[in-house]
């Protein structure tokens, strides 16, 4: 399950409340499920990093897609800039003001 949320009047809530303004984990099940998904993905990321360290390898890019996404074309990773700076690419959300999490490509620095 998700970790306990800070109280709604706590400073960390007030400074971050706009991050989940549409689906607040305080008021909606959808918001709580978003946090559950990110917690699960974080655990998966930690497992991948531990395995890479055990094998003496590093990864450059991560392609994270939701299980309900249909991928129909090859992904050319050379199209993404080679940089040691954190980079995250997402599908354009058009008028939606949030992050479209259906497909994300990010480098190891962004995952950390």
> Where are the domains positioned within the chain?
1-57, 59-112
Q: What is the pTM of this model?
A: 0.68
Query: What backbone torsions phi and psi does residue 9 show, to the nearest 5 degrees?
Result: -100, 5
| Number of C-beta neighbours around residue 15 at 10 A | 9
Give the least confident one: 4-18, 26-40, 76-90.
4-18
User: CB of 23 within 8 A of CB of 34?
Assistant: yes
Above 70 in pLDDT, residue 12? no
41-67 confidence digits (pLDDT tens): 889 989 988 999 999 998 888 888 888
Alpha helix ranges (H) inside 1-107: 11-16, 29-55
């Amino acid at each position: 399950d998700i970790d306990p949320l800070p109280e709604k009047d706590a400073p960390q809530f007030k400074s971050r409340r706009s991050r989940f303004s549409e689906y607040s984990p305080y008021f909606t099940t959808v918001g709580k499920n978003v946090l559950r998904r990110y917690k699960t993905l974080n655990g998966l990321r930690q497992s991948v990093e531990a395995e890479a360290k055990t094998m003496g390898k590093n990864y450059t890019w991560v392609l994270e897609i939701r299980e309900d996404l249909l991928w129909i074309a090859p992904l050319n990773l050379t199209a993404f800039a080679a940089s040691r700076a954190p980079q995250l690419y997402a599908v354009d959300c058009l008028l939606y003001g949030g992050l479209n999490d259906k497909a994300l490509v990010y480098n190891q620095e962004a995952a950390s």
